[in-house]
Amino acid sequence: MNSAALLAWYRDHGRTHLPWRVTRDPYRVIVSEFMLQQTQVERVIPLYDAFLAAFPDIVALAAAEAGDVVRLWRGLGYNSRAVRLHALAQTVVRDYGGELPSERDALLALPGIGPYTASALRAFAFELDDVALDTNIRRIVHRTERGLEYPPLASERELDALARAMMPAGGAHDWNSAMMDVGATICTARAPKCLICPLRDACAASPVDAGDLAARARLLAKRSPQEALPFERTTRFLRGRIVDQLRDLPPGETLHVDALVASLAAVVPGDRLAEIPTVARALERDGIVVLAEGELRLR
C-alpha cells in the first residue's frame, strides 16, 4: 500500500474537520467512539456537541445520574451504550483518578470497551501505533491485499496483521482516519469508485466490477430473523419507544407499565403490545431502567 498517497489524499479530501479528529483529549475521543457505534457521522455531530456541553469532562459524567445520561442519548439509539459509558466514567474516576489509561489490557477491563474501541482510543487519543480495524479498514485491507472480500480470503487476525504492516510508524491517528474516510466515501461496500481511489495502483481488486461484487455478496448474505423484519416490528424499535416515553418524564417520576402500554398503542403494532413488560424487564437487566411494583423510570 502507498501510505504516502493515502495520507496526501487525507490532507486534501479527508474529514479532518470532525470534532473528534481535531482533539487528542481521551475523554472526547471515547465519547465519540461510543456514539459512532452503528450511528451515522452526520447524526452524531450535534448530539456529541450537546453531550459534551452537559458533561464537559469525565468527572462530570461520572457524577451525573445514569438517567440524565440516557436522556441526552436521545437520537442515537442503543441506549445501553449510554449506560456503559457512564459506568466507564465512574470506573475511571474511581480507579484511575479521572485519567483514561492508554495500556490495552487496562482499557479492555473497562465497561463497554472491546478490542476495537481500545485500539481506536490508543490510535486517536494517545497516537500509539495501533489499528482500529473497523468495517471500512477491514474491507480496504482485504481488497488491496487479497482482492474482493466475497468470499473472504483472509481471517480477522490476518487482516489485522496486514493492516499493522501497512501503517507507518508514528502515523496511527491520520492513517486510521484516512483509511476510514476512503472506506466511507470511495472504497464503499457496494459501489467502489476505483478511478479516484488513492490506493488503486497497488490494489489487488482494482478495478472492482460492481456487478460482480453485488452478485458475490448476495450469494453469501445471511440475515438474522430480526434483520428480516420491518424496523417497527423489531425488539430494538420497542426498546427505543419505551425509553423515549421515560425520557419525557421529569427526573424521578415513574410510569406504570399499563400506562406505558396505553401510551404506545398508537405507534407499536398491536400484536407486540403484550411484549412490553418483557422488554421492560430486559431494559432493567441492562441497567437502563428501574422497574418496581409495575412502575418504570430511567435509572
Active site residue 33: yes
Please identify which of the residues 33, 42, 103, 253 carries the catalytic annotation.
33
3-state secondary structure of 152: coil
* Cβ–Cβ under 8 Å, residues 121 and 30: yes
3-state secondary structure of 151: coil
Cβ partners under 8 Å of residue 271, min gap 6: none
Q: Give the amino acid at 221.
A: A
**Cell numbers found for residue 274:** 403484550
Q: How far apart are CA 159 and CA 145, in angstroms?
A: 9
**Cell numbers found for residue 193:** 469508485
Residue 286 CA, chain-centre distance (Å), reads 18
Q: How far apart are CA 175 and CA 180, in angstroms?
A: 9
CA distances (Å), 54 to each of 20, 60, 64, 93, 204, in order? 17, 8, 10, 18, 47
* Helix ranges restricted to H, the chain: 3-13, 26-36, 41-54, 58-63, 66-72, 80-96, 104-108, 115-124, 135-145, 156-166, 172-185, 210-220, 225-228, 235-247, 257-264, 276-285
Q: How far apart are CA 196 and CA 204, in angstroms?
A: 16
Q: How far apart are CA 286 and CA 256, in angstroms?
A: 19
- Active-site annotation, residues: 33
